[in-house]
Structure 1
C-alpha cells in the first residue's frame, strides 16, 4: 500500500513508531512496526518496504507491504491469541487498520500501482470485501431517497449511473469508475472541502468511501455540466 498515506492516517489515530525506508538494510531500516496501546493492550503492525529504491531516491518508502497485527498485554506472555483480546479493543484497533488500508491501498491509484496491475484490477473492480458489502446494503437503503434515484441502480459490485454523455459504473469497494460501453477507466480525484457541512453516513469514517461514491454519482448523473478539463477530456475519448 501507499506508505505515506497509511502512516499519516495511523499517526492521526494514535499509532506511532513507524519509520521505514531505503537505509541501513543490515540493521532493518526497511522493516518496522506501527504501535498503539489501548486499554492496556498493545497492537504492533509490521510493515516492510516494497518500492524501488531509485524511484524513492533512496529515502522514505513510497510503498509498503503489511505483516500481521500482533497483540500483547503486560499480564500475558508473548503474543496474545485474538480470543484473549477484549472485543471492543480488537474492534477499535482493527478499524484503524481497515481505514489505513482503505486510504493507502495501491488499488486506489493506477499510477502508484504500476507493476502491480493484477492487484489494481482485483482491488479496483473485483469482488467486494465485507466492508464494501455493508456499503452496498447501506446504498440500497439510501438510493431510493436520492434525487438521482431514477438515473442510478445497484448491481452486485457497482453503482451504475446514467449520465447524458455516458453510463458509468462506480465500484463499491474502491470507488473506481468504468465507462460503458467499452469499460474505459475514468479518473476522478476526490476533493476535500473542509468548509462544507458534515453529513453523517452510516458505517463510514467522516463519510469515507460511501461519501466519495455518492459525490461521484451525483457528478456523473449530470455529466453535461462538468467543466473540469481533466474529466471532460476523458468523457469524449474513445
Structure 2
C-alpha cells in the first residue's frame, strides 16, 4: 500500500489525490482489522518487524561484502578483499543473487530511516503518545533505535529528557518510565518547562545529530496583539510566487479550495486553518505575485473563527512555521528578513552554542545580527539572509562553494538547510579572519 501511494507522484493532481485517498482508506481498514488504534501504529509495528539481517555477510571469489551502520543509523555496503577495503563493487559480482539481496537490504534500511524520520516528526507535531512496549519494539530495529535516542521525550507532561529504555535522562536526573506513555517534545514544551537552552547545550556538547529539527526548531507563540484576536495577520499582504508557494504548502498538507483559499486540517484537534488567498487555482495576479492574507482557525463544522488564545500552542506554532517558510522561500522579492524572526532566533541559539564550544569571545548576537570583532575589521552578518557588511566599508562579498566541494559544518539536525550552514560558516570564518587565505576575500579586507 505504501509503494502504491508513493507511486502516485508520477500522475496528475486529480489522480494523485484519488490514489492517495484510496491508500489511506486501505491502511485504515487494515489497521482496524489487525487491531491497531490508527494506521500510524500499524506502520510502526511493521517497520519494527521488517528489519533485514544487517549482520549478514556474503563472500564471493575472495571478496567479502557486509553492511555498515553509522551512529545515526545510515546504512552502506562494505566491500573487502582480504584486509583491503575496496571503494567500488567489482562488476562481476553485481549480478550474484546473494550480492543483489545484500544491496537490497541496504536500500531497505535507508528507506526505513527516511520513512521513520518523517513519521517521528509527524508524531511530534500531532502530539502522539507512545507506550513503552511500542518504543521497545521500535528500538529493536538497528536504524530506528539511534533516532529514538537522539530525540527529547516528555513524561507525565512535566519531565523532558532523553529516552534510555527504562528511564528518561532529564536535567534533574534519571526518571523511571514504568508503564507510562511518552510523547516527543515540541519546542513549546521545552519553552514552558524553561529547559530549552539546557537541551540545546546538551545537543551541541554531545554532538547529537537529530533526525529532524526538534531542539533547534523554530517556535512561534502568539504575539501580544494576537492573543485576543481571531485572526493572525503577521504574514498578511506578503506577495509570494504562486507556483512555488502552492508546492510548499501542498507538501505540508495544505489543500487549495477554489474561491475560498487554502486549508489545513488538524484532525485530532478538530480544527481547520484557512488562509484567504488565490494560491493553487490561478488568477491574473500570478504575473506579479499572489498576496497572502490573514490566517484563522475554525472548529470543524463551525463558521465563527476561534480566538487565537484557544488554539493549541503546538498547532498555532506549526501553522505559522509553514507560512513563514512560504514567505521566506517563495517571497517575490527573495528572502524577506522581516518575515523570519523565528528562523533568526533558531540560528542565534545555534550560533550561541557553537561559539561557546569553540570558545570564540569576539562575536555578539544582537537584533538578528552577528557582530564580529575581527583582526582586519569589524563585521556584521544578518542571521536571516547571511549578508555580510564590513564596518566601515560596506558590503563584503563572500560566495559559498558548491555542495560537491564544501567542507563540513556541524548542524544538530539532519534536515537540509544550506542557508543556516552558510550563515554559521560566514560567522566562524570572520571570527577568525586572521586565518583567511582566500585571495579574493583578503583583497576586500585589505
Structure 1 segment 12-51 matched on structure 2, within 5 A: 12-17=251-256, 33-39=261-267, 40-47=270-277
Deviation of 1:69 (Å) = 0.5
Determine the structure 1 residue equivalent to 2:302.
76
Q: Are the structure 2 counterparts of residues 197 and 133 from structure 1 closer, same or farther at C-alpha, using a change threshold of 3 Å? A: closer
Deviation of 1:181 (Å) = 1.7
Structure 1 segment 132-211 matched on structure 2, within 5 A: 132-133=344-345, 135-146=347-358, 149=360, 152-161=363-372, 167-184=378-395, 186=397, 188=399, 199-200=411-412, 206-207=416-417, 210-211=420-421
Q: Are the structure 2 counterparts of residues 156 and 82 from structure 1 closer, same or farther at C-alpha, using a change threshold of 3 Å? A: closer
Q: Are the structure 2 counterparts of residues 65 and 206 from structure 1 closer, same or farther at C-alpha, using a change threshold of 3 Å? A: same
SS across alignment from 1:67? coil
SS across alignment from 1:42? strand
CA RMSD, 1 decimal: 4.5
Determine the structure 2 residue equivalent to 1:104.
330
- Determine if the alignment matches structure 1 residue 214 to structure 2 residue 435: no
Query: Higher RCO, 1 or 2 (CA under 8 Å, sep at least 6)?
Result: 1
SS across alignment from 1:80? coil
Determine the structure 1 residue equivalent to 2:94.
none
CA distance in structure 1 between the aligned counterparts of 2:445 and 2:409, rounded to whole angstroms:
35
Determine the structure 2 residue equivalent to 1:114.
none
Ranges in structure 1 where 5+ consecutive residues have no aligned partner: 20-27, 110-119
- TM-score, structure 1 normalization: 0.59
CA distance in structure 2 between the aligned counterparts of 1:190 and 1:35, rounded to whole angstroms:
39
Size of the aligned set, in residue pairs, is 198
Q: Are the structure 2 counterparts of residues 138 and 224 from structure 1 closer, same or farther at C-alpha, using a change threshold of 3 Å? A: closer
CA distance in structure 2 between the aligned counterparts of 1:105 and 1:158, rounded to whole angstroms:
21
CA distance in structure 1 between the aligned counterparts of 2:293 and 2:363, rounded to whole angstroms:
39
Structure 1 segment 44-63 matched on structure 2, within 5 A: 44-47=274-277, 60-61=286-287, 63=289
Deviation of 1:59 (Å) = 8.2
Q: Are the structure 2 counterparts of residues 11 and 215 from structure 1 closer, same or farther at C-alpha, using a change threshold of 3 Å? A: farther
CA distance in structure 2 between the aligned counterparts of 1:100 and 1:59, rounded to whole angstroms:
17
Ranges in structure 2 where 5+ consecutive residues have no aligned partner: 1-238
Deviation of 1:63 (Å) = 3.1
Q: Are the structure 2 counterparts of residues 130 and 17 from structure 1 closer, same or farther at C-alpha, using a change threshold of 3 Å? A: closer
Deviation of 1:154 (Å) = 3.0
Deviation of 1:197 (Å) = 9.3
Determine the structure 2 residue equivalent to 1:11.
250
SS across alignment from 2:255? coil
For the 8 Å contact 2:344–2:383, the answer to whether it is kept is yes
Q: Are the structure 2 counterparts of residues 71 and 60 from structure 1 closer, same or farther at C-alpha, using a change threshold of 3 Å? A: same
- TM-score, structure 2 normalization: 0.35
CA distance in structure 2 between the aligned counterparts of 1:190 and 1:101, rounded to whole angstroms:
26
For the 8 Å contact 1:108–1:176, the answer to whether it is kept is no
CA distance in structure 2 between the aligned counterparts of 1:178 and 1:89, rounded to whole angstroms:
38
CA distance in structure 2 between the aligned counterparts of 1:176 and 1:66, rounded to whole angstroms:
26
For the 8 Å contact 1:45–1:69, the answer to whether it is kept is yes
Q: Are the structure 2 counterparts of residues 45 and 177 from structure 1 closer, same or farther at C-alpha, using a change threshold of 3 Å? A: farther
SS across alignment from 1:17? strand
